[in-house]
Structure 1
Amino acid sequence: MARRWRRWGAAALRLPGRVRSRWRRSLQFRVVAVTMVLSVIVAVGLGEFVADRVAKGLQATRYSVAQGIAESGFRIARTQLGSYSNGTVNDSANFTASAEQLFNLLNTGSADGQLYQVALEFAGDQAGVSAPYSSPRAFKPSAVPAALQEKIQTPENANQGFSQYYTLTETSADGSGQISVPAVLFAERVSTTGGLTADVYYVFPLRQDQQTLNNVEESLLLAGLVLVLALAVIAWFVTRQVVTPVRMAAAIAERLAAGRLDEQMRVRGEDDLASLATSFNKMAMNLQSQIRRLEELSRMQRRFVSDVSHELRTPLTTVRMAADLIHDAREDFDPTVARSAELLQTQLDRFEELLADLLEISRFDAGAAVLDAEPVDLRVLTQKVVDGAEPLAENKGSRVVTRFPDRPALAEVDTRRIDRILRNLVVNAIEHGEGKDVVISIAADEDAVAVSVRDYGVGLRPGESSLVFNRFWRADPARARTTGGTGLGLSIALEDAKLHRGWLQAWGEPGGGTQFRLTVPRTVGTELLHSPIRLEPEDSQHHQRHRRLPAAAAPRGLVRSAAVAAIAPSPGDSSSRIERYPNTFVLPPAPVNAPEPRDTRDEEE
Structure 2
Amino acid sequence: MAQATGDVETEYAAQPGQGPAAARSRLHRVAALPVRCYLAAQRGARALVRGVHQRWRRSLQLRVVTTTLLISALVTAVLGFFLVQQVLTGLLDAKREAALNDHKAGLDTAVSMMQDGDHSADQDGRAEEITTQLSNHSGTTGFYEVVMLPDVGGLRGYSTVEKASVPQRLREEVGQSELGRQFVTYTEIVGDDARTPGIVVGARLSNTYELYYLFPLDHEQQMLDLVQNTVFFVGTVLILLLAVIAYVVTRQVVSPVRAAAGSAEQLASGDLSERMKVRGEDDLARLALSFNDMAGNLQEKIRELEELSQVQRQFASDVSHELRTPLTTIRMAGDLLYEDRDELEPHMGRSVELLQSQLERFEELLADLLEISRHDANAVTLSMESVDVRDAVMKAVGDAEQIAEKTGIKVVMRLPAEPCTAEFDARRINRILRNLIVNAIEHSEGKDVIVTAAGDRDAVAVAVRDFGVGLKEGEEHMCFDRFWRADPARARTTGGTGLGLSMAKEDAQLHGGWLQAWGMPGKGSQFRLSLPRREGQELRGSPLPLAPPEMAIGRARGFSPPLTERPAGVAGEV
How many Å apart are 1:198 and its aligned residue? 2.1
- Partner residue, 1:182: 197
Residues 129, 518 of structure 1: CA spacing in aligned structure 2 closer, same or farther, 3 A cutoff?
Answer: same
- Partner residue, 2:5: none
- Partner residue, 2:566: 557
- Partner residue, 1:547: 557
SS of equivalent to 2:230: helix
Contact 1:100 1:131 (C-alpha < 8 Å) held by counterparts:
no
CA offsets, 1:228-256, max 9 Å, x none? 22212211211111121122112111111
How many Å apart are 1:486 and its aligned residue? 1.6
Give the Cα separation in 2 of the matches to 1:371 and 1:169: 103
- Partner residue, 2:533: 522
How many Å apart are 1:401 and its aligned residue? 0.8
SS of equivalent to 1:583: coil
Contact 2:413 2:573 (C-alpha < 8 Å) held by counterparts:
no
CA offsets, 1:46-67, max 9 Å, x none? 1111111111111112222222
Give the Cα separation in 1 of the matches to 2:325 and 2:300: 38
How many Å apart are 1:29 and its aligned residue? 2.4
How many Å apart are 1:343 and its aligned residue? 3.1
Give the Cα separation in 2 of the matches to 1:187 and 1:139: 15
Unaligned runs of 5+ in 2: 1-32
AA partner of residue 105 (structure 2) = S
Contact 1:121 1:130 (C-alpha < 8 Å) held by counterparts:
no
Residues 212, 405 of structure 1: CA spacing in aligned structure 2 closer, same or farther, 3 A cutoff?
Answer: farther
Deviates more, 1:69-78 or 1:339-348: 339-348
CA offsets, 1:145-168, max 9 Å, x none? 2221111112x4222221111123
- Partner residue, 1:574: none
CA offsets, 1:490-518, max 9 Å, x none? 11011112222322122222222211111
- Partner residue, 2:184: 163
Q: Check if 1:139 corresponds to 2:126.
A: no
- Partner residue, 1:570: none
AA partner of residue 554 (structure 2) = Q
Q: Check if 1:78 corresponds to 2:111.
A: yes
Matching residue within 415, 421, 443 for 1:404: 415
Contact 1:185 1:203 (C-alpha < 8 Å) held by counterparts:
yes
CA offsets, 1:295-314, max 9 Å, x none? 11111111111122222223
Equivalences for residues 247-262 of structure 1 within 5 A: 247-262=258-273
How many Å apart are 1:189 and its aligned residue? 1.7
- Partner residue, 1:61: 94
Give the Cα separation in 2 of the matches to 1:426 and 1:550: 23
How many Å apart are 1:132 and its aligned residue? 5.5
How many Å apart are 1:332 and its aligned residue? 4.9
**TM-score normalised per structure 2:** 0.85
Deviates more, 1:336-345 or 1:251-260: 336-345
Identity %: 49
Matching residue within 425, 428, 439 for 1:428: 439
Q: Check if 1:152 corresponds to 2:165.
A: no
Contact 1:99 1:130 (C-alpha < 8 Å) held by counterparts:
no
- Partner residue, 1:108: 136
How many Å apart are 1:322 and its aligned residue? 3.5
**TM-score normalised per structure 1:** 0.81
RMSD: 3.0
Give the Cα separation in 2 of the matches to 1:512 and 1:75: 110
SS of equivalent to 1:118: strand
Residues 119, 583 of structure 1: CA spacing in aligned structure 2 closer, same or farther, 3 A cutoff?
Answer: same
How many Å apart are 1:101 and its aligned residue? 4.3
AA partner of residue 508 (structure 2) = A
Give the Cα separation in 1 of the matches to 2:370 and 2:157: 120
Matching residue within 208, 225, 239 for 1:228: 239
Contact 1:99 1:131 (C-alpha < 8 Å) held by counterparts:
no
Q: Check if 1:502 corresponds to 2:513.
A: yes
Residues 229, 526 of structure 1: CA spacing in aligned structure 2 closer, same or farther, 3 A cutoff?
Answer: farther
Contact 1:441 1:452 (C-alpha < 8 Å) held by counterparts:
yes
Residues 234, 8 of structure 1: CA spacing in aligned structure 2 closer, same or farther, 3 A cutoff?
Answer: farther
Contact 1:506 1:514 (C-alpha < 8 Å) held by counterparts:
yes
Deviates more, 1:251-260 or 1:472-481: 472-481
Give the Cα separation in 2 of the matches to 1:237 and 1:371: 59
SS of equivalent to 1:185: strand
Give the Cα separation in 1 of the matches to 2:339 and 2:184: 134
Contact 2:162 2:190 (C-alpha < 8 Å) held by counterparts:
no
Matching residue within 194, 212, 221 for 2:223: 212
Contact 1:455 1:513 (C-alpha < 8 Å) held by counterparts:
yes
AA partner of residue 169 (structure 1) = V
Residues 417, 186 of structure 1: CA spacing in aligned structure 2 closer, same or farther, 3 A cutoff?
Answer: same
Q: Check if 1:583 corresponds to 2:570.
A: yes
Give the Cα separation in 2 of the matches to 1:182 and 1:271: 62
Q: Check if 1:443 corresponds to 2:454.
A: yes
Unaligned runs of 5+ in 1: 173-178, 559-580, 588-605
- Partner residue, 1:472: 483
Give the Cα separation in 1 of the matches to 2:264 and 2:51: 26
